[in-house]
Amino acid sequence: MDYSTEVRRRFAAAVPNWVDHSDGVVVVAEAEDRTLGLWVRCHMRVVDSTIASVAFEVFGCPDSIAASSLIAERLSGRSIKTLDQIDVRRVAVELSIPTEKLGKLLRMEDAVLACKALVDAD
Protein backbone atom coordinates (compact mmCIF):
# COMPACT_ATOMS: atom_id res chain seq x y z
CA MET A 1 0.00 0.00 0.00
CA ASP A 2 1.03 3.54 -0.69
CA TYR A 3 0.23 6.29 1.80
CA SER A 4 0.37 10.05 1.46
CA THR A 5 3.00 12.01 3.31
CA GLU A 6 0.31 13.47 5.62
CA VAL A 7 -1.11 10.03 6.41
CA ARG A 8 2.38 8.81 7.22
CA ARG A 9 3.01 11.83 9.44
CA ARG A 10 -0.23 11.50 11.38
CA PHE A 11 0.11 7.73 11.66
CA ALA A 12 3.66 7.96 13.00
CA ALA A 13 2.60 10.62 15.52
CA ALA A 14 -0.53 8.79 16.74
CA VAL A 15 -0.54 8.22 20.48
CA PRO A 16 -3.41 7.85 22.95
CA ASN A 17 -4.91 11.27 23.59
CA TRP A 18 -8.19 10.87 25.43
CA VAL A 19 -10.59 13.64 26.32
CA ASP A 20 -10.51 14.94 29.85
CA HIS A 21 -13.60 14.95 32.02
CA SER A 22 -12.99 18.33 33.69
CA ASP A 23 -16.31 19.87 32.77
CA GLY A 24 -19.23 19.57 30.39
CA VAL A 25 -20.67 16.27 29.14
CA VAL A 26 -18.59 13.37 27.82
CA VAL A 27 -20.32 10.91 25.50
CA VAL A 28 -18.93 7.78 23.93
CA ALA A 29 -20.19 5.86 20.86
CA GLU A 30 -18.86 3.11 18.65
CA ALA A 31 -19.09 1.92 15.07
CA GLU A 32 -17.49 -0.97 13.25
CA ASP A 33 -17.35 -2.89 10.02
CA ARG A 34 -15.76 -6.27 10.41
CA THR A 35 -15.55 -6.88 6.69
CA LEU A 36 -13.49 -3.70 6.40
CA GLY A 37 -11.46 -4.53 9.51
CA LEU A 38 -12.39 -1.31 11.29
CA TRP A 39 -13.56 -0.64 14.82
CA VAL A 40 -13.81 2.90 16.14
CA ARG A 41 -14.96 4.43 19.43
CA CYS A 42 -15.53 8.16 19.55
CA HIS A 43 -15.13 10.10 22.82
CA MET A 44 -16.63 13.57 22.69
CA ARG A 45 -16.66 16.28 25.36
CA VAL A 46 -19.30 18.97 24.92
CA VAL A 47 -19.38 22.17 26.95
CA ASP A 48 -22.31 24.53 26.49
CA SER A 49 -23.26 23.01 23.08
CA THR A 50 -19.69 23.36 21.82
CA ILE A 51 -17.50 20.36 21.10
CA ALA A 52 -14.58 20.96 23.41
CA SER A 53 -12.56 17.92 22.39
CA VAL A 54 -12.83 14.68 20.45
CA ALA A 55 -10.72 11.54 20.56
CA PHE A 56 -10.98 8.25 18.73
CA GLU A 57 -9.97 4.76 19.64
CA VAL A 58 -9.19 3.07 16.32
CA PHE A 59 -8.43 -0.50 15.34
CA GLY A 60 -7.72 -0.13 11.67
CA CYS A 61 -5.38 0.78 8.87
CA PRO A 62 -2.97 3.77 8.76
CA ASP A 63 -5.42 5.78 6.64
CA SER A 64 -8.12 5.29 9.27
CA ILE A 65 -5.82 6.29 12.11
CA ALA A 66 -4.69 9.40 10.22
CA ALA A 67 -8.27 10.31 9.30
CA SER A 68 -9.42 10.00 12.91
CA SER A 69 -6.76 12.45 13.98
CA LEU A 70 -7.81 15.01 11.33
CA ILE A 71 -11.52 14.58 12.06
CA ALA A 72 -10.87 15.10 15.78
CA GLU A 73 -9.05 18.34 15.01
CA ARG A 74 -11.80 19.60 12.71
CA LEU A 75 -14.60 18.89 15.17
CA SER A 76 -13.09 20.64 18.15
CA GLY A 77 -14.68 24.07 18.63
CA ARG A 78 -17.72 23.35 16.46
CA SER A 79 -21.24 23.73 17.70
CA ILE A 80 -22.89 20.39 18.36
CA LYS A 81 -26.15 21.80 16.99
CA THR A 82 -24.75 22.30 13.49
CA LEU A 83 -23.13 18.91 13.39
CA ASP A 84 -25.31 17.02 10.93
CA GLN A 85 -22.49 15.33 9.07
CA ILE A 86 -18.78 15.28 8.60
CA ASP A 87 -17.57 15.70 5.07
CA VAL A 88 -15.49 12.53 5.07
CA ARG A 89 -14.95 12.80 1.32
CA ARG A 90 -13.14 16.07 1.93
CA VAL A 91 -11.07 14.39 4.63
CA ALA A 92 -10.23 11.61 2.18
CA VAL A 93 -9.16 14.11 -0.47
CA GLU A 94 -7.14 16.12 2.02
CA LEU A 95 -5.24 13.02 3.13
CA SER A 96 -5.15 11.41 -0.36
CA ILE A 97 -6.95 8.37 1.00
CA PRO A 98 -8.10 6.04 -1.80
CA THR A 99 -11.82 5.94 -2.47
CA GLU A 100 -12.02 2.22 -1.68
CA LYS A 101 -11.36 3.16 1.93
CA LEU A 102 -14.19 5.66 2.13
CA GLY A 103 -16.36 3.07 3.89
CA LYS A 104 -14.04 3.16 6.86
CA LEU A 105 -14.34 6.94 7.13
CA LEU A 106 -18.11 6.65 6.96
CA ARG A 107 -18.02 4.38 10.04
CA MET A 108 -16.15 7.18 11.85
CA GLU A 109 -18.90 9.55 10.83
CA ASP A 110 -21.42 7.05 12.24
CA ALA A 111 -19.63 7.10 15.60
CA VAL A 112 -19.53 10.90 15.67
CA LEU A 113 -23.21 11.24 14.81
CA ALA A 114 -24.04 8.63 17.46
CA CYS A 115 -22.25 10.85 19.96
CA LYS A 116 -24.31 13.83 18.82
CA ALA A 117 -27.49 11.80 19.27
CA LEU A 118 -26.46 11.00 22.83
CA VAL A 119 -25.84 14.69 23.55
CA ASP A 120 -29.17 15.63 21.97
CA ALA A 121 -30.94 13.05 24.11
CA ASP A 122 -29.23 14.24 27.27
Partner 1 sequence: MDYAATTPVDPRVIEAMVQCLGPDAVFANAASTHGLGLVAKGLIEQARSDIAARVGAHADEIVFTSGATESNNLALKGTFGEELPHNSRLLTTRIEHKSVLDSAEQVARRGVAVEYLVTDACGRVDLDALASTLQAKATALVSVMHVNNEIGTWQEIEAIAALCRAHGALLHVDAAQSVGKLPVLLEDWGVDFCSLTAHKICGPKGIGALYVRRGRRLAAQLHGGGHEHGLRAGTLATHQIVGMGASYALAEPASEMPEIERLSQRLWAGLAAIEGVARNGSAATSIPNIVNVRFPGVDGESLRLALADLAVSAGSACNSADVEPSYVLKSLGLSDVAAAGSLRFSIGRFTTESEIDRAVERATEEVSRLRSLAPNAPNWCLS
Query: Whole-number minimum distance, CB 4 to partner 1, in Å?
Result: 12
**Which of 6, 9, 39, 50 contacts partner 1 by CB under 8 A?**
39
Among residues 8 and 21, whose Cβ is nearest to partner 1? 8
Beta partners for 53?
45
Determine the Cα–Cα distance for residues 53 and 89; give it in Å rounded to an integer: 22
Among residues 61 and 112, whose Cβ is nearest to partner 1? 61
Query: Is 1 one of the binding residues for partner 1 (CB under 8 A)?
Result: yes
Footprint on this chain of partner 1 (rule: CB under 8 A):
1, 3, 8, 11-12, 14-16, 32, 34, 37, 39, 41, 57-62, 65
